[in-house]
A = this chain, B = another copy of it.
Amino acid sequence: MARANHRLTKIPEMAIRRLSVYTRCLQQLEEDGVKTISSQELAERFSLNSAQVRKDLAYFGEFGVRGIGYYVAGLKAELQRILGLDREWSVALVGLGNLGSALFHYKGFARQGFRIAVVIDDDPAKIGREIESVPIVGSRDMAREIKARAVQIAIVAVPPEAAQTVTEQLVAAGIKAVLNFAPTRLRVGREVRLKNVDLSIELETLSFYLAKGAR
């Protein structure tokens, strides 16, 4: 019934985002010693939508077993493989201001296999130094470092006015995916995956509920 159809259908980005959430839920279940779980139980325990869970998973294969549900460890491993989390990714962090420093120290990245391999910053006081054994280089040397370290993903945490230029340099250096924290709209070619993080959207979900409560 639900066969792997990811070669036929365009998978919504939100479904991929939800796979990340499911993976975290399965991780939690595994830590709690749960071996198997139905989509209903999974949905109830983590406030998900069970029909949505089944639909999302169906994009990638047939994971449920009749009368049993999902094998927690097996499904987790499978989702991690789909998300590319069964390997390590070298990441370039661009910009080591407040936000860049916070992202550098963010524990969640390394836990999922994203290793910051090089930091790029044009502050003369930082160039040539290291932060926790990771080299800090100026943008004039970024292409060399990105190639030498086989970096495919860049996190952009520079001021908005610098973001477009640095992104073009990153793409020229071979970067294939950009996670942009600068509050500006970047333009990249179709060969590059761009994801913008807009932190105020998260606050707006909260103000929606507060405003609704007040109405």
Residues of chain A touching chain B, judged by Cβ–Cβ distance below 8 Å, are: 12-14, 16-17, 19-21, 24, 28, 49, 81-85, 87, 89, 91, 97-99, 101-103, 105-109, 111-114, 152-153, 155, 160, 176-179, 183, 185, 193, 195, 197-213
Q: How far, in whole Å, are A20 and B155 apart by their CA atoms in the complex?
A: 23
Contact in complex: A199, B153 (CB < 8 Å)? no
Partner of A205, one of B13, B28, B152, B199: B13
What 9 pairs across the A-B complex have the smallest Cβ distances?
A84-B211, A84-B207, A99-B102, A98-B102, A177-B206, A108-B200, A98-B101, A20-B201, A20-B204
Q: List, sorted by A's number, 8 A–B pairs whose CB atoms are closer than 8 Å.
A: A16-B205, A17-B201, A20-B205, A84-B207, A87-B211, A98-B101, A109-B200, A114-B207
Contact in complex: A153, B109 (CB < 8 Å)? no
Min CB–CB distance A158 → chain B (angstroms) = 12
Contact in complex: B97, A102 (CB < 8 Å)? yes
Residues of B within 8 A of A98 (CB): 98-99, 101-102, 105
Stoichiometry, copies per complex: 2
Contact in complex: A203, B112 (CB < 8 Å)? yes
Given known pairs A14-B14, A98-B98, A105-B98, the reply for A89 and B207 (CB within 8 Å) is yes
Q: How far, in whole Å, are A83 and B215 apart by their CA atoms in the complex?
A: 12
Residues of B within 8 A of A84 (CB): 204, 207-208, 210-212
Contact in complex: B209, A193 (CB < 8 Å)? yes
Contacts A20-B200, A28-B185 given; 7 further ones with Cβ under 8 A?
A24-B198, A84-B207, A87-B211, A89-B210, A112-B203, A153-B203, A153-B207
